[in-house]
């Protein structure tokens, strides 16, 4: 009898049930989408913060002091120690290699521009643009295009470079190939020299083709940027790298992060090692690159945590507001649906049904509605979250499967809570008044 009453109620009041179901579905959808966005926003913003550039720098351990003013290096170029280029792919072998977004080596050399008596000194920076590398079985590409996203290559006349490689269409300007002899010229230097892409430059007695004009808003605007191999040839030190910029996704640092790993007990040290703090990633970089010293770039690394926690906190509060609003919407819909059925309650009670039976029928209906609405709402919310992720962050917002039972439980709880007061009032209502149509 009990299932039949519930079934008939759904069959005969399809429209009302549909309304309550829609309210639950929408409420659950909004809640799911907001929870998914809020749990994923930290990771997404962390990735966006990488547009500030590298947060770690690796230098040779025994390096001499940098003597650099306004981006001009005054130190003799062959002075000091170097890292070995061959060690760099090992960065992909560290424990947190999945957190390492990219790295780019730098080698600054001072080269003669032009020949004869009017030759002048210019700084040439050798680096990776988007160099294909492999470590073990993984193939990957890395370079300044990943670690220095604010570097822009133009054609010198304001047009932005095509994203494709130069060789696709030789007439166009763009990023040089890493195994070519093509170079980028900083926009200030290019303006001084009156050079444009396609021209050749005589740098240290080599004829190098300009493939694009580089704009960075910093010291590189006065420099020449070339593939690493070109800089190594000019310096006469194959495989030499002065420093490596590493861009890594890190966890905001806390008191634990700043402890010295050498004073930790083995278990604590393991926990520290296995947390993606900027300090532990620096420690691991030092392990894989021989004779190196890795350090956080504090300007980038220190501020990340604050910005991240602010945005995280904000989204958490907004999610709470969304949960509150959808809970209220669901309860309101349920309360309305039940209040309209006082006559039915009166009839049931007149026929001898107890308060418990009547409540049980209503709760069973609410449970059914909550489950159906919860499942539909969860799917709709997942789609919504995906849409938000794709349109805002150009990447997928992943929905944790564990969220499903949680959301379903919340849906059932909220539906029950919303119905409870209305059910109690409906049950307490005198059947005589209800049947007479009063109240």
Partner 1 sequence: MSTTGTLHSPKQVADRRARAPHTSMFARMLLRAAVLRRRRAAAALLAMIVAAAVATAMMNLYVDVQAKLRTEFRNYGANVVIVGKYGQSLAADALTKVDSASGPGGKALAVPFSYAVARTKDGQSVVVVGTDFTRARQLNHWWKVSHWPDEPNQALIGMRAATLVSPNRQPFELTFQGKAIELAPAGMLQTGAGEDSRVYLDQSEFQKWTGVSPSTIEVAVSGTTAEVETSIRQLAQLLPPADVRPVRQIMEAEANVLNKTRATLYASATLVVLTSALCVLATLMGWVFDRRRDFAIMKALGASERLVNGFFAAEAAAMGAVGAILGFFIGIGVAVWIGRANFHAPVVPRFGVFPYVLAGSVAVALISAILPITMLRRVQPAIILRGE
Residues 283-312 binding partner 1 (CB under 8 A) are: 295-303, 306-307, 310-311
Smallest distance, Å, CB 127 to partner 1?
16
Smallest distance, Å, CB 269 to partner 1?
23
Restricting to residues 116-145, which ones interact with partner 1 according to CB under 8 A? Answer: none
Rounded to the nearest angstrom, the gap between the alpha carbon of residue 355 and the centroid of all alpha carbons in its chain is 54
Smallest distance, Å, CB 162 to partner 1?
20
**With binding defined as CB under 8 A, does residue 350 bind partner 1?**
no
Phi, psi of 433 (to 5 degrees): -65, -40
Restricting to residues 355-394, which ones interact with partner 1 according to CB under 8 A? Answer: 384, 388, 391-393
Q: In angstroms, how far is the first alpha carbon of the chain from the final one?
A: 29
Q: Which residues contact 85 (CB under 8 A, 6 or more apart)?
A: 105, 228, 232, 239, 240, 241
Out of 95, 291, 339, 416, the only residue in the binding site for partner 1 (CB under 8 A) is 339
**With binding defined as CB under 8 A, does residue 335 bind partner 1?**
yes
**With binding defined as CB under 8 A, does residue 333 bind partner 1?**
yes
Interior/surface letters 2-33, b for 16+ CB within 10 angstroms, e for the rest: eeebbeebbeebeebbeebbebbbbbbbbbbb
Piece of the chain touching partner 1 by CB under 8 A; list 133-141, 206-214, 315-323, 352-360: 315-323
Q: Is there a contact between 125 and 224 (Cβ–Cβ < 8 Å)?
A: yes
Restricting to residues 12-31, which ones interact with partner 1 according to CB under 8 A? Answer: 19, 23, 26-27, 30
Distance CA 196, CA 210 (A): 7
**With binding defined as CB under 8 A, does residue 319 bind partner 1?**
yes
Smallest distance, Å, CB 266 to partner 1?
28
Q: Is there a contact between 73 and 67 (Cβ–Cβ < 8 Å)?
A: yes
Smallest distance, Å, CB 314 to partner 1?
6
Smallest distance, Å, CB 234 to partner 1?
22
Smallest distance, Å, CB 41 to partner 1?
6
**With binding defined as CB under 8 A, does residue 33 bind partner 1?**
yes
Which is nearer to partner 1, 178 or 304 (by Cβ)?
A: 304
Going by C-alpha positions, the residue among 150, 175, 148 that lies closest to residue 247 is: 148
Restricting to residues 225-284, which ones interact with partner 1 according to CB under 8 A? Answer: none
**With binding defined as CB under 8 A, does residue 81 bind partner 1?**
no
Query: How many residues sit in the footprint of partner 1 (CB under 8 A)?
Result: 76
DSSP letters along 143-188, please?
SHHHH-TT-EEE-SSSPBPPSS-GGGSTTS--PPPTTSSEEEEEHH
Smallest distance, Å, CB 54 to partner 1?
10
Strands 72-73 and 68-69: antiparallel
What the block records as the tokens of 185 is 């010229």
Smallest distance, Å, CB 85 to partner 1?
22
Which is nearer to partner 1, 181 or 296 (by Cβ)?
A: 296
Smallest distance, Å, CB 137 to partner 1?
33
Distance CA 282, CA 284 (A): 5
Restricting to residues 391-410, which ones interact with partner 1 according to CB under 8 A? Answer: 391-393
Maximum distance among all alpha carbons in the chain? Answer: 114
**With binding defined as CB under 8 A, does residue 102 bind partner 1?**
no
Restricting to residues 46-75, which ones interact with partner 1 according to CB under 8 A? Answer: 48-49, 51-53, 56-57, 63, 65-70, 72, 74-75
Going by C-alpha positions, the residue among 58, 145, 136, 150 that lies closest to residue 101 is: 145
Which is nearer to partner 1, 183 or 322 (by Cβ)?
A: 322
**With binding defined as CB under 8 A, does residue 321 bind partner 1?**
yes
Out of 8, 93, 138, 150, the only residue in the binding site for partner 1 (CB under 8 A) is 150
Which is nearer to partner 1, 112 or 425 (by Cβ)?
A: 425
Distance CA 20, CA 338 (A): 10
Long-range CB pairs of 195-200, under 8 A, 24+ apart, other chains included: 196/155, 196/156, 196/157, 197/155, 197/156, 197/173, 198/171, 198/173
Out of 5, 17, 34, 189, the only residue in the binding site for partner 1 (CB under 8 A) is 34
Going by C-alpha positions, the residue among 360, 352, 318 that lies closest to residue 37 is: 318
Out of 113, 119, 318, 368, the only residue in the binding site for partner 1 (CB under 8 A) is 318
């Amino acid at each position: 009898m009990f299932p039949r009453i519930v079934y008939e109620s759904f069959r005969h009041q399809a429209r009302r049930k549909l309304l309550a179901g829609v309210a639950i579905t929408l409420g659950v959808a909004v809640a799911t989408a907001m929870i998914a966005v809020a749990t994923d926003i930290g990771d997404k913003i962390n990735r966006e913060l990488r547009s500030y550039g590298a947060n770690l720098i690796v230098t040779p351990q025994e390096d001499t002091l940098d003597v650099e003013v306004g981006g001009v290096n005054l130190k003799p170029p062959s002075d000091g120690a170097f890292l070995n280029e061959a060690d760099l792919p090992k960065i992909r072998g560290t424990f947190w290699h999945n957190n390492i977004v990219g790295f780019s080596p730098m080698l600054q050399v001072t080269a003669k521009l032009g020949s004869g008596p009017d030759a002048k000194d210019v700084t040439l920076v050798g680096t990776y643009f988007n160099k294909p590398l492999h470590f073990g079985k993984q193939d990957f590409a890395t370079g300044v295009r990943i670690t220095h996203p604010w570097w822009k290559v133009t054609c010198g006349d304001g047009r932005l470079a095509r994203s494709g490689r130069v060789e696709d269409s030789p007439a166009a300007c763009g990023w040089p190939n890493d195994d070519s002899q093509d170079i980028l010229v900083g926009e200030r230097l290019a303006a001084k020299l009156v050079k444009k892409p396609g021209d050749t430059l005589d740098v240290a007695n080599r004829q190098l083709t300009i493939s694009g004009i580089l704009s960075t808003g910093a010291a590189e605007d006065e420099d020449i940027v070339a593939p690493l191999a070109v800089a190594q040839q000019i310096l006469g030190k194959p495989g030499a790298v002065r420093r490596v910029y590493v861009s890594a996704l890190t966890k905001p640092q806390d008191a634990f992060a700043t402890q010295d790993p050498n004073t930790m007990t083995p278990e604590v040290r393991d926990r520290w090692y296995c947390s993606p703090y900027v300090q532990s990633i620096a420690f691991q970089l030092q392990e894989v690159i021989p004779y190196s010293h890795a350090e956080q770039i504090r300007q980038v690394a220190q501020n990340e945590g604050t910005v991240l926690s602010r945005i995280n906190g904000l989204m958490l509060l907004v999610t709470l507001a969304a949960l509150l609003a959808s809970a209220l919407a669901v309860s309101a819909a349920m309360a309305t649906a039940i209040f309209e059925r006082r006559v039915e309650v009166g009839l049931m009670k007149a026929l001898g049904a107890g308060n418990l039976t009547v409540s049980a029928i209503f709760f069973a209906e609410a449970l059914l509605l909550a489950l159906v609405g919860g499942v539909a709402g969860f799917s709709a919310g997942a789609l919504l979250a995906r849409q938000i992720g794709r349109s805002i962050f150009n990447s997928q917002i992943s929905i944790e499967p564990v969220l499903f039972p949680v959301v379903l439980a919340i849906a059932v709880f909220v539906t029950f809570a919303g119905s409870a007061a209305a059910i109690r009032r409906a049950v307490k209502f005198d059947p005589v008044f209800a049947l007479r149509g009063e109240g």
